[in-house]
Amino acid sequence: MSKIFKPLVIFILLAYLLIPLIITIIYSFSSSWTFSVLPDSLTLKWYIQLFSDPEFLMAIARTVFLATVTVILSLAVIVPTIFAIAIYFPKLMKYINLIIIFCYSLPGVISVMSLSEAYNSIGVPKMILLFGSYVVGTLPLMTLGTTNSLRSINAKELIESAEILGASKLESFTKIILPNISNGVISSALFIFSGLFANMLL
């Protein structure tokens, strides 16, 4: 019975997830689709019209730029910080978890508008505030991905072994820890990029 039940459940879940997506894709190619099971005819007119719109192309370019820079900043700032806290200052992780809760309570667009009002008098560019707000917003996913990866490889023992063999803290992090946690960090980065791309079409 279980041999039939598990594949059936997987099939139902896949159908639930994929059928709306497939229908949406087919609808995007249809010239009209009203009272029939299938579209009356297929066309590329809507895609040609969409990608001929300069405002849409500029919006896509800005979104890709903002999402890419945010992910790079998140990787450069959050990953080393979480590594240092998790390995050398584990008692501070409770404060990181508290900050993560705050990140979920305030959307990035609202925070950047609030920050722009607060820092407008000293002339901080809004673009910097936007990047800062979204980097902070990436803290939950990047922290979870980094800490879970560190736990899975027993990072503290690896660091201690590397230092006993003469490696510096920087060498231990760049040459031993980073290659071993790269899968988890890259997965977090991809999730962050897709979330930013979906929310920041400007």
Are 141 and 191 contacting, i.e. CB atoms less than 8 angstroms apart? yes
Q: Rounded to an integer, what distance in angstroms lies between the CA atom of residue 131 and that of residue 128?
A: 5
Evaluate if residue 116 carries a pLDDT over 70. no
Ranking 75-89, 130-144, 177-191 by mean pLDDT, the lowest is 130-144
Evaluate if residue 135 carries a pLDDT over 90. no
186 contacts: CB under 8 Å, gap ≥ 6: none
Average pLDDT estimate for 48-68: 87
Which of the two residues, 162 and 128, has the higher pLDDT score?
162
Cα 42 from chain centroid (whole Å): 34
- The predicted pLDDT at position 57 comes to 86
Write the pLDDT tens digit of every residue in 34-46.
777 777 778 888 8
> Six-digit token pair at 60?
């896509």
- The predicted pLDDT at position 16 comes to 92
Evaluate if residue 201 carries a pLDDT over 60. no
User: 3-class SS at 43?
Assistant: coil
Write the pLDDT tens digit of every residue in 162-191.
888 888 888 888 888 888 999 999 999 999
Which of the two residues, 89 and 3, has the higher pLDDT score?
89
Evaluate if residue 108 carries a pLDDT over 70. no
